Amino acid sequence: MDNPIELQSQSGALCAEVDLNGGMLARLQLKRVGKRAMDLLHRAPWLEDDYFNNEPGLFAHLSGEWVCAPFGWAPKDSKLFSATHAHGLPCHSAWQVDSVSESKVLLSYVFPNGHPLKNLKRVIELKDDRVDLSFTLISNEDCEVPLGVHPCFPTDHQLNALELEVAGDGIVYGVDCEPGTSRLVPAKVFDSLNKLPLKSEYIGKDGNQDTVDATKLPFAYHTEEIVQMLHPEGQAVLNYKNKGLRLILKWDGSKIPTCLLWMSNHGRKAEPWNGENCCLGIEPIASCWDFGEESLKGSNPIKDRGVKTAVSIKAGVPFTFDYSIAIETLD
């Protein structure tokens, strides 16, 4: 990361680094008296090796949190999606700084000529007990856009290091997240996060019956799983009991109703992952998984359950989405 923008809260309890490549909140640290600074967001393991030599693009800077406009990917280019830029051009591209102070930065990105979307702005502001975030999107034309944000949190490498609270029911990713490794039944609905449906060949393994509890992470085995929570009520809570810390991700569920949970536990073996990645993505989205054009169809597995999979945006009318990550100590 070349020349990141450094922010800190008024007391200095929270510090952050913002990467203009991708407009990412690349690092968020909590500083406590007499203790080491604690990273609150995940960084891809290859970043420490400079694997991509600081090239542009999402993989070369994958860390922390970023905006996905549009959310998802497509196998070939379309009016809205790029086959080579998963989660939209902004998180692969350079952003501009509109204003910056000690604790707050305003960034902007302009889409290429001819794109349905016009520009994207985001605000990152540190308070002593939370980080407040927002993005504002303006389009060139009336359109439906799958949208989301992509915070990634550490799950550590200690079994049950993280206890996760997300309300409501959900549905497993539509295909095997990682063929030969993923254990959940694709496209299967479930009532709660502590009872995710296992494929028959994994029933009885690693202490599981016919379901697995995803409220306690990381899993006891290497895997890669994605589920979409359909009614999370605009909140996810992460309890790190070994660190005495709780993080609370809140967002406006009236605008972006669901969240995708990406549970990565050493399951991706290809480069640059190399079986080293371990994290939890909690991604508030209006989308059908990350299936690109599928989100825009009249019928898809998420929309068929009464949940919207895109945001309606009028030409020239700003769409603003607010969210935050609060930090609390556990008793």
What is the mean pLDDT, run by run of 10 residues, along the chain of 331 residues? 90 96 97 85 89 79 96 95 96 97 98 97 97 98 98 87 97 96 97 97 86 95 97 98 94 98 96 94 98 97 98 98 96 73
CA distance 171 to 56: 34
Q: Which two tokens stand for residue 277?
A: 């990645």
CA distance 324 to 267: 29
Determine which helix (DSSP H) or strand (DSSP E) holds 58, and give its type and residue range.
helix 58-61
pLDDT at 1 (0 to 100): 67
pLDDT at 50 (0 to 100): 73
* CA quadruple 87, 126, 39, 88: dihedral, nearest 10: 10
What 8-14 contacts at long range (C-beta under 8 Å, 24+ apart), as own/partner pairs, is: 8/102, 8/103, 8/126, 9/103, 9/126, 9/127, 9/128, 10/103, 10/127, 10/128, 11/128, 13/128, 13/129, 14/126, 14/127, 14/128, 14/129, 14/130, 14/131, 14/327
DSSP class per residue in 295-320: GGSS--TTGGGT---SEEE-BT--EE
Provide the β-strand partners of residue 222: none
Q: Which two tokens stand for residue 288?
A: 């059908």
Q: Which two tokens stand for residue 234?
A: 């605009």
pLDDT at 264 (0 to 100): 97
On whether the CB atoms of residues 264 and 278 are closer than 8 A, the answer is: yes
Nearest residue to 184 via CA among 192, 218, 195: 195
Cα 217 to the center of its chain, rounded Å: 17
Residue that is written with structure tokens 């019928």 in the block = 299
CA distance 245 to 239: 6
pLDDT at 5 (0 to 100): 97
Across 17-45, b (16+ Cβ under 10 Å) vs e yields bbbbbbbbbbbbbbeeeeeeeeebbbbbb
Pick the CATH number of 5-329 from 3.40.50.300, 2.70.98.10, 3.30.70.20, 2.40.50.100: 2.70.98.10
pLDDT one-digit tens code per residue, 55-76: 778 988 899 999 999 999 999 9
Across 286-299, b (16+ Cβ under 10 Å) vs e yields bbbbbbbbbbbeee
pLDDT at 51 (0 to 100): 73
Instruction: Classify strands 14-19 and 5-8 as parallel, antiparallel or unpaired.
Output: antiparallel
pLDDT at 98 (0 to 100): 98
Can you give the residue ranges of every domain in the chain? 5-329
On whether the CB atoms of residues 262 and 283 are closer than 8 A, the answer is: yes
Q: pTM for the complete prediction?
A: 0.96
